[in-house]
Amino acid sequence: MARRVEGKAAIVVGGGQTPGQTIGNGRATAVLLAREGARVCVVDRDRASARATVDMIEGEGGQAWAFEADITNEDAAARLMAAALERFGRLDILHNNVGASLALGDAPATELTEAAFQRSFDVNLKGMWLACKHALPALRAAGGSIVNISSMAALNAYPLVGYKTMKAAVVALTENLAAHNAAHGVRANAILPGLMNTPMAIESRVAKGTAREEVIASRDRRVPLRRRMGTGWDVAYAALYLHSDEAAFVTGVALIVDGGESVSWGS
């Protein structure tokens, strides 16, 4: 069976990860796209973290390179796309994985500071728009694919204002991109992960003083499917499908990957 993204040129923004005991969504996606034949530009504001992902890919015989960028800065977004085109000669896949909540100081409405709200806007939404803005000319030329990582926080009663608001806006951004780039052959889809055992989700809660075992157990209990959280690989496989030619007629979709939690609310 042919590899599913063979020969495609991919950018994974947020392809490093928060330090932790498990693999994050972005790193897992970068590794899986490379396993399936893509050449991958791994982007992160932490070059060492991006390089660690590249080392994993190259250790498996894949092709990847690390690029350091703060994607919330437009000059950095423009430099990234120029460098990727110089390296690859084309762009087929843009995968936007950057996002954070507690680490940005997110809080309920009455406690959230203006600075923390701005940080949430910049990291969770503005950076995705900037990446798309500067990637679209190349994606239109190739008939490429965009996947933006939102969150089930966009749909559920998530208590923190910044993350919920921005992740809901990511879905709207994705729908806009899908509608207005379909004529150019560009597909744009979003993934809404539920409760995931990833460093971003777990480490920030552990850092606030909750025992790791308690954090994991409390989250596992909320997931109907096998009573365990998903992993970065679950998000990565959903992304692989959306970026592959198997999803050639799929655009504007907000794909829920949550182990059945959303269909079980209130049950």
Catalytic residue (one of 158, 163, 237, 241): 163
Question: CB burial class (10 A; 0-12, 13-18, 19+) of residue 172?
Answer: middle
Q: Distance between CA 25 and CA 134 in Å, rounded?
A: 23
State how far the Cα of 243 lies from the Cα of 90, in Å rounded to an integer. 15
Residue with tokens 């679950």: 234
237 among known catalytic residues: no
Count of alpha carbons within 13 Å of 138, Cβ hemisphere only? 26
Task: Give the tokens for residue 16.
Answer: 């490093």
* CB-CB contact of 231 with 198 (8 Å): yes
**Nearest to 41, CA basis, from 93, 112, 117:** 93
Contacts of 154 (CB under 8 A, 6+ apart): 164, 167, 168, 170, 171, 192
Q: Which residues does the annotation mark as catalytic?
A: 163
